[in-house]
Amino acid sequence: MPETILFHPELLDTHFIVDVRTPLEFAEDRLPSAYNVPLLTNEERIEIGTLYKQQGAHLARIRGLELTAGRFPEMMREIASAANGRPILVYCWRGGLRSKTVASILDLTGFPVKQLTGGYKAFRNQVTAYFEDFQPNAPLVVLHGMTGIGKTTFLGILERRGESIVDLEGIACHRGSAFGSLGLSQDHLTQKRFETLLWDRFRKLPPEKLIYLEGESRRIGRMTLPGNLYDVMGESIKVWCTASLETRVRRLSDEYGLRAYEDGLRESLLRIKKRLGGDKYAEIAGYLEHWQIEPFMTELIVSYYDKLYYKVREWKEDLTLSLEEFESAAEVLVKEVQRIAP
The domain spanning residue 18 has which CATH number?
3.40.250.10
Stretch 130-140: mean pLDDT, rounded? 95
The DSSP output letter for 177 is: S
How distant is the alpha carbon of residue 319 from its chain centre? 28
Tell me how far apart the terminal alpha carbons of the chain are, to the nearest angstrom.
51
The model's pTM is 0.91
pLDDT at site 197: 98
Do 110 and 151 reside in the same domain of the chain?
no
Stretch 252-258: mean pLDDT, rounded? 90
Phi, psi of 240 (to 5 degrees): -95, 115
Could you tell me the pLDDT band of residue 50, with boundaries at 50, 70 and 90? very high
- Residues facing residue 214 across a β-bridge: 143
Q: In this model, does residue 43 exceed pLDDT 80? A: yes
pLDDT at site 341: 84
Do 125 and 139 reside in the same domain of the chain?
no
Could you tell me the pLDDT band of residue 309, with boundaries at 50, 70 and 90? confident
Please name the helix (run of DSSP H) or strand (run of DSSP E) that holds residue 32, with its range, or none: none
pLDDT at site 181: 66
Q: Are 337 and 237 in contact (CB under 8 A)?
A: yes
| 92 carries an active-site annotation | yes
pLDDT at site 56: 86
- What is the span of the domain harbouring residue 19? 3-129
Distances (CA, A) of 282 to 170, 274, 286, 302: 32, 11, 6, 15
The β-bridge relationship of strands 223-224 and 219-220 is: antiparallel
Do 280 and 152 reside in the same domain of the chain?
yes
pLDDT at site 180: 64
Stretch 286-295: mean pLDDT, rounded? 94
Q: In this model, does residue 342 exceed pLDDT 80? A: no
Q: In this model, does residue 266 exceed pLDDT 90? A: yes
Using the 3D structure, point to which of 129, 145, 175 is the last residue of a domain.
Answer: 129
Do 57 and 103 reside in the same domain of the chain?
yes
Number of compact structural domains in the chain = 2
Q: Out of 40, 88, 90, 92, which one is annotated catalytic?
A: 92
Using the 3D structure, point to which of 104, 129, 154 is the last residue of a domain.
Answer: 129
Do 125 and 142 reside in the same domain of the chain?
no
Using the 3D structure, point to which of 129, 161, 193 is the last residue of a domain.
Answer: 129
Q: Which class for 121: exposed (0-12), middle (13-18), buried (19 or more C-beta within 10 A)?
A: middle
Do 162 and 307 reside in the same domain of the chain?
yes
Task: Give the helix ranges, DSSP H, for the chain.
Answer: 11-14, 23-28, 42-55, 57-68, 72-83, 97-108, 119-132, 151-160, 168-172, 191-204, 229-234, 245-256, 262-271, 273-276, 278-289, 293-300, 306-308, 326-340
Stretch 119-143: mean pLDDT, rounded? 97
Q: In this model, does residue 68 exceed pLDDT 80? A: yes
What is the distance between the alpha carbons of residues 20 and 227, in angstroms, rounded to a whole number? 29
pLDDT at site 247: 97
Return the amino acid letter for 312: V
Stretch 291-297: mean pLDDT, rounded? 95
Do 123 and 52 reside in the same domain of the chain?
yes
Stretch 140-162: mean pLDDT, rounded? 96
pLDDT at site 93: 96
The rounded percent of the chain whose pLDDT value lies above 70 is: 98
CATH of the domain at 178: 3.40.50
Do 153 and 294 reside in the same domain of the chain?
yes
pLDDT digits (tens, 9 = 90+) for 161-201: 999 999 999 999 887 676 666 766 677 899 999 999 999 99
Q: In this model, does residue 104 exceed pLDDT 90? A: yes
Q: Which has the minimum average pLDDT: 19-23, 68-72, 213-217, 310-314?
A: 310-314
Higher pLDDT pick, 233 / 176: 233
Do 147 and 286 reside in the same domain of the chain?
yes
Average pLDDT score over the chain: 93
Do 224 and 151 reside in the same domain of the chain?
yes
Q: Indicate the SS3 state at residue 91.
A: strand
Q: In this model, does residue 31 exceed pLDDT 90? A: yes
Do 196 and 332 reside in the same domain of the chain?
yes
Stretch 255-260: mean pLDDT, rounded? 88
Stretch 8-13: mean pLDDT, rounded? 96
Q: How many other C-beta atoms are found inside a 10 Å radius of the C-beta of residue 108?
A: 12
